[in-house]
Amino acid sequence: MIQLAPSIIAANFARLGEQVEAALVAGVRRIHVDVMDGQFVPNITIGPLVLEALRPLAASYGAELDTHLMIVQPERYLAEFKAAGSDIINVHVETCPHLHRSVQQIRELGAGVGVAINPATPLTLLDDILADIDQVLVMTVNPGFGGQRLIPAAVAKIARLRAMLDARGLERVTIEVDGGVSVETIAALARAGITHAVAGSAIFNAQASIGENIDGLLRAAQVP
């Protein structure tokens, strides 16, 4: 069954704790935190202080904080984000010239290791690192802003990644997608082989309650 990871970038920050708790009450056990620096991506979001504030709430529900570092030189901040409460730290293959070293750093800090990959970045760049990580975060939109439409070619890319992992006996490596997840797209993503789906505006919106949106996404993901 697909697990959802609500992205707080789409939440109302004046009511952040309340909205995150509503998602946790609805059953999610992963909260996705998008960190952007205005350099790697054209947006600036949040830093470790927000994770530190959310950590007790997430811990009280047994949930994990999934941190997505869309920043240059992420290795400079890994320890800080782990100390703030990150359970999983995702770094981009595009920003890590010494990717194996960054992966080792995250592992030594005691966090789950994720590697993120942009829509136009080939899967071949993951060949030599797949056995050393816990998660691949596949961007299904160009990173930087929420509310974008899913890039259709990303679905086939996810299917190829699933085949790569299965062929190598790496079924333990989770596949998380980020971008354009909705009730219209999540079934195709589920069929392609994802395990986790990041959703922002599909969960935090005025059309329905957070719990109703989560339930709708999970029902849409249950495909034959």
List pLDDT tens digits, range 144-160: 776 778 999 999 999 99
Mean residue pLDDT of the chain comes to 95
The predicted pLDDT at position 42 comes to 85
Q: Residue-wise over 34-45: b if at least 16 C-beta within 10 A, else e?
A: bbbbeebbeeeb
- Residue 213 neighbours by CB distance under 10 Å: 24
CATH number at 3-221: 3.20.20.70
pLDDT greater than 90 at residue 126: yes
Give the start-end residues of each E strand in the chain: 3-6, 30-36, 64-70, 88-92, 112-117, 135-139, 174-178, 196-199
- The CA angle 151-140-91, to the nearest 5 degrees, is 150
**110: alpha, beta or left, given left = phi > 0 and alpha = psi -120 to 50?**
left
pLDDT greater than 70 at residue 127: yes
pLDDT greater than 80 at residue 223: no
Q: Give the pLDDT band of residue 224 (cuts 50, 70, 90).
A: low
> Rounded to 5 degrees, what are φ and ψ at 176?
-110, 140
pLDDT greater than 90 at residue 20: yes
178 has catalytic annotation? yes
Q: 201: which 2 tokens?
A: 């505006």
At residue 139, the 3 state secondary structure works out as strand
Query: Pick the catalytic residue: 66, 128, 178, 215?
Result: 178
> Hey, CA dihedral for 204, 34, 27, 133, is it positive or negative?
positive
Query: Pick the catalytic residue: 34, 37, 66, 87?
Result: 34
Q: Tens digit of pLDDT for each residue in 48-93? A: 999 999 999 999 999 999 999 999 999 999 999 999 999 999 999 9
> Rounded to 5 degrees, what are φ and ψ at 68?
-115, 105
The predicted pLDDT at position 148 comes to 78
